[in-house]
A and B are shown apart, each in its own frame.
Chain A
């Protein structure tokens, strides 16, 4: 049977750019599931989309479903037929309910005896018929962040549906939804032609759209935009400032990309580059250019839709809009420079940060304490600590400035603070710390490059976390309005990348810090419950961060059992925990590691049966194998103590190997459950000590080989 293709195109009025890809992705998943339910195979489903259409192109569908034979078991033969072999009422009833003749009932031996069986043959349906069921259903099931109604229909969708093109090979898949009947009509780029074009054969779909000015393949469209940008940049002998998010967005704002290059009025080039770039990006979606030395050039590149004839006028109007935006920015910027950053900080201090956690000023006071404590923990020079304190005091100043209070420039918080501090001759290190202290802002973002920036960022994120947990504003499920998970991610990323020797315990201690006047930062007593919640929250983020980011970065196949095993000590600095994870992961497949795991598990199983903490006395040892184990334990303890570095897990694993033989011999010869309670408890005690040595490295009980 030859394979055919099918098409579903939902033609809409301009959809929000961010809705498009997720919607088509949902469509794909829904169709895949439905095809499976209907026993239809499909070689490939292509996702095609533009702001005006959500399309699936299904390749390699059979023309029909396969026939199926269904066997249904019925009552026992002795119930269905009487002694003469004639059908009883029950037998006839069963046959009728299955839609087969009584005479066609088969017999089947089951563990419950012989029963009758109806065999139903179901003929496969036409694929086109099944698609006619599937397509309208999936259109109804697409979910959007926001939906609307239009005209007189009750149907809800992201924007009005205006046409539906649904075809199997050459046949229309006919259905109606939201007052629209499907057909073979599609529409091209609006500015080229307002009439529809017919798709007679599914295979022509992409070609017809291309002829009508539509780049329906998202990857092709994106590549086209990249080419246009690169060519334009090359002509100006400039470099494009990369912006992947903007690229993705722009590519979902057009059906037929074209490019314009405009000039920035040089009068505005005195503005800091981030301000100019943001003004270009946020509303106008322009790309910025730089020279070889990363200096911003006075040009912008915009991606426009269609192939308009009057490009010169388009450029002129775009230049005018940008000019108006930069004029606003310049006004705000100059106003901001009229008073000092310390004065802005005073104004910012009045702003409410979080109800009940006080103002931005309160936050900055806490930050000053936190950075001081962090500075001591990280053994920073006292001169640096003084810088940090000033940075902490000033880091939120820009929240009050005119520029940052404009929504459009809000993303520049921190960055503007840094710029204003630098312009007012604050030490470079302070300015830089302020500038960097929101980093990392998103998962691919860099952590702050400078020491002080990293510490200030850490303090800021910890304060937010502490404050929110103290108020019970804890993320649940998908709800995380204050983005605490991202804050915790930043905390982990900074500590690990910078190898700050900070443990969970250190973090909890910070939360119980006091100000100079003796007042507690987050209240006098932090309940055990809150402490547990915080340490669990951070550890959970530690695990996801390690699994999602570091396993890729270090090309390690980290498994979650190893993570669980490694995280058994709240006092271990997080970077050391990560080192441990790395070492355990590498050694997990080794035979000796398996042996160590087994030994630890064996001991712990026996100890589980003993509830009491047993005391150990050397003189109660009786058998030579006991003595051997005791000596080995003693020896391992000494070797551990002699290690220069208490976090040398590689060496510790090596030392643990010394225990393997003695443990095996012990279990071979010694019966732990001696009748004498004292001896029994003594053996428990010995095993306890042995297990403790294993636990110094990790919790082997959590290691899993399945």
Chain B
């Protein structure tokens, strides 16, 4: 009996809830990766422990292929886990998680292949692995070292799965579009039309002038809100600016040298926000210091 994509999601939630993770819901803004969710970006900062798992839709305008590519889409789901501080048995827990969804390590070639992770827009970096299953990358496993330009302590361990790819392996499908979402509907039934339309939007139709204007507006909004010590709203605008930048990039509206400058601008917003967040948590006396402990 094959696991539907939806079963996979439910089982992962169940597993990580048992690991005493908070199961949060997707953050309601367009993001390029689960790392942008404040449940990761904010929570890895400062000394407060945190354990969280959530599913987040990722939007990567440049990866759109009008639904023609079997495993590349501009919209897909990441499963994201943050364990802060990273526990000693983190790899074991991860392998237990694979067992739970039917990937048994005594049956497969599971390998931890070195990988340095970096998000230039978030000013974040980490070391860890790509986890390979039978020659295919199934997970990004990272120990965050810096985020928002800040050195982190304690260190958070991050586990990120591409849900569609894992489901494709479990269902033995060569194309994401043929995945069973539940027992009746396929991935194609649900997402194909929007994938085609968004691909057209990302590459051909997005209003460049408006986007350029919005980027500027969002940028100034970030700093205005930070001045007012409204750090969560400010961060929303960092996320929005980052997405608009990705959209402009897909639209071919940004030259190579401009690209570096845009990335630096988003990073500056992320850094300022991260700093302000830590200050505010400190003023509150880092409320999760005791409660968040396992």
List the interface of chain A (C-beta within 8 A of B): 13-17, 51, 146, 148-152, 154, 159-160, 162, 190-192, 194, 253, 260, 284, 302, 304-306, 308-310, 313-314, 317-318, 320-322, 324
Contact = CB atoms under 8 A, between A and B. Distances in A.
Given A148-B127, A190-B95, A318 B106 contact: no
Nearest to B125: A148
Q: Among the interface residues B92, B127, B134, which one has the most CB atoms of the partner chain A within 10 A?
A: B134
B145 interface: yes
A191 B155 contact: no
Contacts of B126: 148
A31 to B, nearest CB: 26
A318 B157 CA distance: 28
Contacts of B88: 151, 160, 162
Contacts of B154: 151-152
A14 B143 contact: no
Contacts, number: 91
Closest 8 CB pairs of A and B: A317-B134, A14-B112, A16-B114, A310-B107, A304-B109, A318-B135, A148-B127, A152-B154
Contact of B133 (A159, A162, A317): A317
A253 B109 CA distance: 12
A317 B107 contact: no
Interface in B80-106: 85-88, 91-92, 95, 105-106
Contact of B108 (A14, A154, A162, A313): A313
B95 A309 contact: no
A190 B105 contact: yes
Contacts of B155: 148-152
Contacts of B106: 191-192, 306, 308-309
A306 B109 contact: yes
A13 B134 contact: no
A489 to B, nearest CB: 29
B112 A13 contact: yes
Contact of A146 (B87, B113, B116): B116
A159 B143 CA distance: 9
Interface string B148-171: 000001110100000000000100
B259 interface: no
Contacts of B196: none
Q: Among the interface residues A14, A192, A309, which one has the most CB atoms of the partner chain B within 10 A?
A: A14
B136 interface: yes
Nearest to B83: A151
Nearest to A51: B112
B22 interface: no
A314 B87 CA distance: 30
A318 B155 CA distance: 34
B50 interface: no
Contact of A284 (B107, B135, B169): B135
Given A146-B116, A149-B145, A313 B86 contact: no
Contacts of B110: 191, 305
A305 B109 contact: yes
B293 to A, nearest CB: 11
Q: Among the interface residues A15, A260, A284, A313, which one has the most CB atoms of the partner chain B within 10 A?
A: A313
B174 interface: yes
A191 B105 CA distance: 6
B281 interface: no
Q: Among the interface residues A151, A194, A253, A308, which one has the most CB atoms of the partner chain B within 10 A?
A: A151
Interface string B109-127: 1111110100000000011
Contacts of A159: 127
Given A17-B114, A146-B127, A308 B107 contact: yes
B129 interface: yes
B135 A14 contact: no
Interface in B155-209: 155, 157, 169, 174
Contacts of A51: 112
Contact of A308 (B71, B87, B108, B174): B108
Given A194-B92, A317-B169, 14 more contacts: A14-B111, A148-B127, A152-B85, A152-B155, A159-B127, A160-B88, A190-B105, A253-B111, A260-B109, A305-B111, A308-B107, A308-B109, A313-B108, A317-B133
